[in-house]
Structure 1
Amino acid sequence: MIILGLDPGLGTTGWGVIGAEGNRLSHIANGQVKTDPKLALPERLYRLDKELTDILAQYAPDTVAVEEVFSNTNPQSTLKLGQARGVVLLGAARYGVPVGEYAARAVKKAVVGVGNADKAQIQAMVQRLLPGVKLTGPDAADALAVAITHAHHAQSAKRLG
């Protein structure tokens, strides 16, 4: 199974593609989609959608896993994050693959073992779980962590079902 993990953000959306065969995970690719803050919001969302469409076409995932929005102290930032997340969910739906959504704490718990892990801990565990991975940045590491979480949940559901 090919899983595309996404960590949505308007400035930077991290993405990571893994292969999952039973308990075995393998790294396929990872990256970051960056948008220029000088551009108007519609143009930034369009560019995010276009790059995500290219990623979906290139890697042909069987499923997509997306990190859920968390509340932020700045309502404007939360709204922009929600808009980027909407573009990501729309792209996955347009591609016709099932989408799993995971809270940030659930991702941290699944990958690191604690729900309050920091970015350095997530990166270290992603590198341990996917030997040889070259991370393009912290958002890509977070996206790979979301994909790993989805793989673990899918494997657990398979055992229970």
Structure 2
Amino acid sequence: MVNWSMALAPAPTICLGVDPGSLACGWAVVSRLGSRLELLAAGVIRSPRGADFDQRILGIHEKLAEAIAAHRPQFMAVESPFVEKNAATALKLGQIRGGILLTAGLHGLPVGDYNPMQVKKAVSGYGWADKGQVGKMVMTLLNLKEPLAADAADAAAVAIGHLLATRRVGPQA
């Protein structure tokens, strides 16, 4: 006998949030079911200083691909860079973002792109919130007992922002 109430239960919407960086790239997988948000996994992909840049990008790709395989998100949300004054740094960050976007494309994930002010406003209600305020709000929204590493908290904030922004239009956003 089939339990139809179980068969028709809504599935959570899952988003992989990414805070790009060449030395420390934060990631977090967050699910939303109704108004309930839950952290499924998070971490920071660290690249050693002096590592060949192509190997840094490959390492980020591999870790994100592992998270995608393990948690099957429907979306990826990536924080856009702020205006970078150093051209060499901006170029490197652009290359890191390119690798991240390629990972999303290879796995068929639509990508939401959010600037830091949008992310801060989504989780704290204030676009000029500092990192500490964002980290505390991430803990509160995800009902965490311990804080996440700063880069992972930023990635969780990006995922939360995407899930909140898309809740009005459903999982097809």
Tell me the TM-score range normalised by the shorter chain: over 0.9
Q: Report SS of the residue matched to 1:65.
A: strand
Aligned to 1:62: 74
Q: Deviations over 1:13-44 (max 9, x none)?
A: 10011110122111111101111121111111
**Contact 1:30/1:135 (8 A) holds in 2:** no
Structure 1 residue runs of 5 or longer lacking an equivalent are none
Segments of 5+ residues of structure 2 without an aligned counterpart are 1-12
Partner of 1:9 in structure 2? 21
Distance 2:72 2:147 in 1: 21
Alignment identity in percent?
40
Query: Which SS does the other structure have where 2:134 is aligned?
Result: helix
How far has the Cα of 1:133 moved from its partner? 5.2
Per the alignment, residue 152 of structure 1 pairs with 164
2:99 matched to which residue of 1?
A: 87
Q: Using the alignment, how far apart are the partners of 2:134 and 2:16 within structure 1?
A: 17
Corresponding residue for residue 130 of structure 1: 142
RMSD: 1.5
> What is residue 119 of structure 1 aligned with on the other side?
131
Does structure 2 conserve the Cα–Cα contact (< 8 Å) formed by 1:10 and 1:44? yes
Q: Hey, what's the Cα distance between the residues in 1 that align with 2:135 and 2:117?
A: 15
The Cα shift of 1:130 comes to 0.6
The 3 A distance-change label for structure 1 pair 16 and 95 is: same
**Taking structure 2 as the reference length, what is the TM-score of the superposition?**
0.87
Match among 101, 117, 125 for residue 113 of structure 2: 101
- The 1-side partners of 2:146 and 2:67 are apart by 18
Q: Go from structure 1 to structure 2 and tell me whether the alpha carbon gap of 1:15 and 1:134 turns closer, same or farther (over 3 Å shift).
A: farther
Q: Where do 4+ consecutive residues of structure 1 move more than 3 Å?
A: 133-136
- Structure 1 residues 133 and 102: CA distance shift in structure 2, 3 A: farther
- 1:65-80 to structure 2, matched below 5 A, reads 65-80=77-92
Which region of structure 1 is more displaced relative to structure 2, 36-45 or 12-21?
Answer: 36-45
Letter in 2 for 1:56: I
What SS does the aligned partner of 2:81 have?
A: coil
Counterpart of 2:142, as a letter, is: L
Relative to 1, partners in 2 of residues 1:153 and 1:89: Cα closer, same or farther, differing over 3 Å?
Answer: same
Q: Return the offset for 1:136.
A: 3.9
Deviation for aligned residue 1:148: 0.5
Question: Is the contact made by 1:31 and 1:140 (CA closer than 8 Å) also made in structure 2?
Answer: yes
> How far apart, in 2, do the equivalents of 1:44 and 1:53 lie?
14
Paired residue type of 1:26: E
Q: TM-score scaled to structure 1, two decimals? A: 0.93
